């Protein structure tokens, strides 16, 4: 099955700075890479995802890049705001083509005003 | 449309007891996945059910089991509870392919 590693485990930035979280995966056949945000006491929610046929996807202040050769993908948040403070998880399907996910350990992002 | 629901939301059990948790997926979703979330291990996959069949299973002991009914509602059962089973148990529903998983609010299980 798939194995996903995520770095860093914590990330502190000032409001307005950019934040980058990186993940690596093990299965070269993997083709779907979502990112979930979990605020304190709440359920994880999808914020952006990317499929293997594209190298980058953007949604306002959030972007995800994928390097299939190196088997890593990254989340980029620009102009961070205090409400971006949360735990972010990268993931990939446990098995190619299936919906169940293997998650990274998570990154706690703290944005200071 | 209504989101994923889980019952109960909170549960306190003692070691050795068993517990059953329930998950109702979004209407039309045939896949239900279960995850255990702990501070030390993060989000770990337990198992997935699709059209009443277990399709994937994570690396958990046999004390953890589940099932899915014809209306796609799913239950998971943990027998002979241990202190280490204390966690937030999340279920997520989806269409069944590599696509967004919609999470429920979770069941917080405390084993004393």
Taking alpha carbons only, the member of A23, A21, A19, A39 closest to residue A101 is A23
**What does pLDDT average to over chain B?**
95
**How much is the average pLDDT of B51-79?**
95
Helix, strand, or coil (residue A95): coil
A28-60: pLDDT as tens digits? 899 999 999 999 999 999 999 999 888 999 999
Q: Exposed, middle or buried: residue A16 (CB in 10 Å: 0-12, 13-18, 19+)?
A: exposed
Interface test with B, best of A9, A35, A43, A92 (most B CBs within 10 A): A43
DSSP bridge partners of B68 = B74
More confident residue, B98 or B19: B19
**What does pLDDT average to over chain A?**
95
Using a pLDDT cut of 70, give the percent of chain B over it.
99
Using a pLDDT cut of 70, give the percent of chain A over it.
100
pLDDT band at A80 (very low <50, low <70, confident <90, very high): very high
**How much is the average pLDDT of A73-97?**
95
pLDDT band at A2 (very low <50, low <70, confident <90, very high): confident
What is the C-alpha to C-alpha distance for residues A10 and B101, in angstroms, rounded to an integer?
24
Query: Which residues on chain B are in Cβ contact (under 8 Å) with A49?
Result: 100
A108 with A12: CB under 8 angstroms?
no
Closest residue in A to B99 (Cα) is A99
Write down how long chain A is: 113
Secondary structure, 3-state, A19-67: EEEEEEECCCCCCEEEEEEECCCCCCEEEEEEECCCCEEEECCEEEEEE
Helix, strand, or coil (residue B95): coil
Q: Give the dihedral sign, CA B24/B25/B29/B32.
A: negative
The pLDDT, as a whole number, for residue A52 is: 85
The pLDDT, as a whole number, for residue A48 is: 97
Asked if B42 is an interface residue toward chain A (Cβ–Cβ < 8 A), one would say yes
Q: Flag the least confident range among A24-28, A108-112, B97-101.
A: B97-101
The pLDDT, as a whole number, for residue B2 is: 84
The pLDDT, as a whole number, for residue A54 is: 86
What is the C-alpha to C-alpha distance for residues B36 and B19, in angstroms, rounded to an integer?
14
Q: Cβ–Cβ of A44/B103 closer than 8 Å?
A: yes
Taking alpha carbons only, the member of A18, A4, A31, A7 closest to residue A81 is A18
Question: Residue B1 pLDDT > 80, yes or no?
Answer: no
**Parallel, antiparallel or unpaired: strands A86-93 and A32-38:** antiparallel
Query: Which residues on chain A are in Cβ contact (under 8 Å) with B94?
Result: 99
B28-59: pLDDT as tens digits? 999 999 999 998 888 999 999 999 999 989 99
**How much is the average pLDDT of B70-90?**
97
The pLDDT, as a whole number, for residue B97 is: 85
């Amino acid at each position: 099955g798939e194995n996903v590693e995520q770095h860093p485990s914590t990330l502190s930035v000032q409001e307005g700075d950019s934040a980058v979280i990186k993940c690596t995966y093990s299965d070269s056949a993997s083709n779907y890479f979502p990112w979930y945000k979990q605020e304190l006491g709440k359920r994880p929610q999808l914020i952006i995802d990317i499929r293997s046929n594209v190298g980058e996807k953007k949604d306002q202040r959030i972007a995800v890049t994928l390097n299939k050769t190196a088997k890593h993908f990254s989340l980029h948040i620009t102009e961070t705001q205090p409400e971006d403070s949360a735990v972010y998880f990268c993931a990939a399907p446990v098995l190619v083509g299936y919906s169940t996910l293997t998650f990274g350990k998570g990154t706690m992002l703290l944005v200071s005003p | 449309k209504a989101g994923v629901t889980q019952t109960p939301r909170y549960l306190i059990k003692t070691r050795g007891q068993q517990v059953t948790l329930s998950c109702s997926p979004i209407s039309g979703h045939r896949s239900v996945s279960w995850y255990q979330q702990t501070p030390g291990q993060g989000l770990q996959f337990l198992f997935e059910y699709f059209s009443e069949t277990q399709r994937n299973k994570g690396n958990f002991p046999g004390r953890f089991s589940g099932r899915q009914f014809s209306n796609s509602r799913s239950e998971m059962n943990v027998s002979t509870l241990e202190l280490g089973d204390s966690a937030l148990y999340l279920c997520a529903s989806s269409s069944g392919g590599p696509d967004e998983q919609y999470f429920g609010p979770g069941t917080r299980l405390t084993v004393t």
